[in-house]
Amino acid sequence: MNAEISRLAKWASRARGLPAVPAEALLTALYRSHRLDLIRLAVLLVGDRETAEDIVQDVFARLHGRRPETLTLAYVRTCVLNGSRSVLRRRMVESRWTERGKEALDSSETAVLLGESRREVLDALGRLPKRQREALVLRYYLDLSESETARTMRVRASTVRSTTVRALARLHRELGGNA
């Protein structure tokens, strides 16, 4: 599927005077081959699967009708990251105005499905500052390079390195040396 995406993207970039590849075909190929990875990325950032699925769906809906040369995996990842940030901002404002707090984010089904150690790691990850959490998820979960992570987060590569080091140190302390 990735070969199909790159073939369509290359063809679209070469076909300046020719009819372009339909954006729908490229968007469909991106959706089919990367939807689950994008949902996993959003789950790690926002903490629940339903919201993550909504974020990814919203991103693909907003990308519908765009020019094919703008539809790259890196751009879609950035859109998912920004959508996750928006959700987290809304939750922060909501928690300031209501008494709900974290209890609204964790359902009993989610707590049962997650293993104890995985839950500990996810809880510790959730306590990290937003930028540190994003850097760890992009670098180690999605296995992006420093430069790809920097482009996605829209920061310098040196910022990614320092943020990642601080996040790992804090995560190690949070988990009591069991990381």
Task: Give the C-alpha separation, 110 to 115, whole Å.
Answer: 10
Residue 157 structural domain = 115-179
Please name which of 75, 83, 78 lies closest in space to residue 9, comparing C-alpha atoms. Answer: 75
CATH number of the domain encompassing residue 163: 1.10.10.10
CATH of the domain at 24: 1.10.1740
Q: Is the pLDDT of residue 36 over 70?
A: yes
| Residue 167, pLDDT above cutoff 90 | yes
- Say if residue 131 is in the same domain as residue 98: no
Residue finishing a domain among 85, 113, 141: 113
106 shares its domain with 138: no
φ, ψ of residue 105 in degrees (nearest 5) = -80, -30
The predicted-structure confidence for 126-148, as pLDDT tens digits, reads as follows 899 999 999 998 998 888 999 99
Last residue of one domain, picked from the residues 113, 134, 159: 113
Q: Please, which pLDDT band fits residue 1 given cuts at 50, 70 and 90?
A: low
